[in-house]
Chain A
Amino acid sequence: MARMPVQFRLNGTDRAVFVEPVETLLGTIRRGLGDFAPKFGCGQGTCGACTVLVDGEPRLGCLTLSVTCEGRSIETASGLADGPTLHPLQAAFMEHFAAQCGFCTPGMLMAAKALLDRNPDPTRVEVVEAIAGNICRCTGYEPIINAILAAAQQRGARRA
């Protein structure tokens, strides 16, 4: 079947690509556009390693067809840092040793960003719920939860 044209914004930059009709957003971002931050983990919607934001909402790149993203704004972990300055979440993940192998980290960061953009002062329970769809086999989650709470605190202090 003929490839289909799709246009969307990826981390603030307009992109236009031709995709296979049932190509996933993850495949387009990685293979088509060369952004390797979101990872392919399970392909079943279970691990969350492919989590990206679509118009600010967390979505699984492995289950989202690219053609459904026409005109949308896509954010990946590649777009978090501002040049050499890390995003507060990235800095907090580093400071709190929230990454070991790092495979889950881009998905965790985007799930956390979706939470903090909507709820700047989350409780611990809300953080746990926000990353419930993201599996980490290294850290045991505690450093990740602590990092997200710390990033929220830091952002709150910056606003005060």
Chain B
Amino acid sequence: MPVNLRIVQGLQEAAEILAGDRAAQMLGGGTLLVRAINEGAMTEGTLLRTVDPVLLAINAGGARVELGAGVTMAMVLASRDLSYLHAPARGIGGPAVRTTATIGGNLFAATPYGDFTTALLALDAVVTLHAGFGGARAMPLEEMLANRARGGVGLVASVGFNRPAGADAFRFLKVARVRPKGISVLSIAVHLPQNAGRISGVRIAYGAMGPTPLRAKAVERVLEGRSLDAATIAAAKTAALEGTQPATDAIASEWYRREVLPVHLGRLLAGETS
């Protein structure tokens, strides 16, 4: 059976179809699934498309930010309220990819893709899922990514997180061999709130350093409660590789990723990258 397309009106209907058909997948912008069809990697199954306007909603003016899963990288870049997310959004493909690539799709992008998800992970994002029964429920992004690895997540309707504490509190770095558009060697997102000169509530996430974007919890433990000085950064670099499982692919070897991660983390923490 060839690949089928079903167009449905609402999220709930789409979620019910997803729950009942394991071969069904939500179609976002198409940068992953249509590519898979073109490559012959997807030869059967069902693509679900919904035009529910909830998926395109951006509520970014207040302390709590909520972004629909269908919001594109170009829409993020067009929002002044989301300026702290412009670096990760700009890191996704070229302009013609960013007009179609969605936040929801990025959550399912296989490594070494998924740089925007890395940023969301550092913001402690929570996803709203529709599982096909019982309405919507919230789930931490970290948990969703763990479920993703096992399969069967449900329909992601939106992503929510608290706005970063200040202009310098959120930092993102994508390391690529080709500029301005290249696939990640790795990416790092850092949320560094500070209280009276001490780091408080730090979150650090890596992209392309494991099967999915992952939290750098050892580094977070090192940084928490300390001031951001040279000694702290040196300690963070020492802990940088704990919990990582980078792969060797066409972009970089596992060895190379391990070698350069502490260097780039140190530079990002020191504010030495643009």
B158: min CB distance to chain A, Å: 21
The stretch that binds B, out of A89-97, A126-134, A151-159, is A126-134
Given A48-B94, A114-B95, A67 contacting B7 (CB threshold 8 A): yes
Contact B31 A65 (CB under 8 A): no
Q: Produce 1/0 per residue, B59-82, CB < 8 A to A.
A: 000000000000000100000000
Nearest residue, chain B, Cβ from A26: B38
Q: Produce 1/0 per residue, B199-228, CB < 8 A to A.
A: 000000000000000000000000000000
Contact A132 B94 (CB under 8 A): yes
Contact B4 A59 (CB under 8 A): no
Contact B5 A22 (CB under 8 A): yes
For B30, what are the chain A residues with a Cβ–Cβ distance below 8 Å?
63-65, 68
Q: Any chain A CB within 8 A of the CB of B230?
A: no
For B5, what are the chain A residues with a Cβ–Cβ distance below 8 Å?
1, 4, 21-22, 65, 67
User: What number of B residues sit within 8 Å (CB to CB) of A?
Assistant: 26
Contact B35 A63 (CB under 8 A): yes
Q: Any chain A CB within 8 A of the CB of B34?
A: yes
Contact B4 A21 (CB under 8 A): yes
Given A22-B5, A65-B5, A133 contacting B35 (CB threshold 8 A): no
Q: Any chain B CB within 8 A of the CB of A44?
A: yes
Contact B2 A64 (CB under 8 A): no
Q: Any chain A CB within 8 A of the CB of B194?
A: no
Interface of A is mostly: mixed
What's the count of A-B pairs with C-beta under 8 Å? 87
Contact B37 A59 (CB under 8 A): no
Contact B93 A59 (CB under 8 A): no
Contact A133 B97 (CB under 8 A): yes
For A48, what are the chain B residues with a Cβ–Cβ distance below 8 Å?
94, 96
B43: min CB distance to chain A, Å: 11
Contact A24 B95 (CB under 8 A): no
Which residue of the partner chain, among A1, A21, A44, A128, contacts B180 with CB atoms under 8 Å?
A128
Q: Any chain B CB within 8 A of the CB of A43?
A: yes
Give bound CA distance, A128 to B180, whole Å.
8
Nearest residue, chain A, Cβ from B7: A67
Q: Any chain A CB within 8 A of the CB of B39?
A: yes
Interface residues of A in 53-107 (CB under 8 A from B): 54, 57-60, 62-65, 67-68
Q: Any chain B CB within 8 A of the CB of A45?
A: yes
Q: Any chain A CB within 8 A of the CB of B47?
A: yes
For B74, what are the chain A residues with a Cβ–Cβ distance below 8 Å?
57
Contact A45 B97 (CB under 8 A): yes
Give bound CA distance, A63 to B35, whole Å.
6
A133-B95, A133-B96 known; 7 other A-B pairs, CB under 8 Å? A1-B4, A21-B3, A22-B4, A22-B37, A24-B38, A63-B31, A68-B30
Top 3 A-B pairs, shortest CB-CB distance: A133-B94, A21-B5, A43-B38
**Residues of B participating in the A interface, judged by any CB pair closer than 8 Å:** 2-5, 7, 27, 29-31, 34-35, 37-39, 47, 49, 74, 93-97, 99-100, 180-181
Write 17 A-B pairs (CB below 8 A) sorted by A numbering: A21-B3, A22-B4, A24-B38, A43-B38, A44-B35, A44-B38, A45-B96, A51-B96, A58-B96, A60-B96, A63-B31, A64-B100, A65-B30, A65-B49, A114-B95, A133-B95, A134-B94
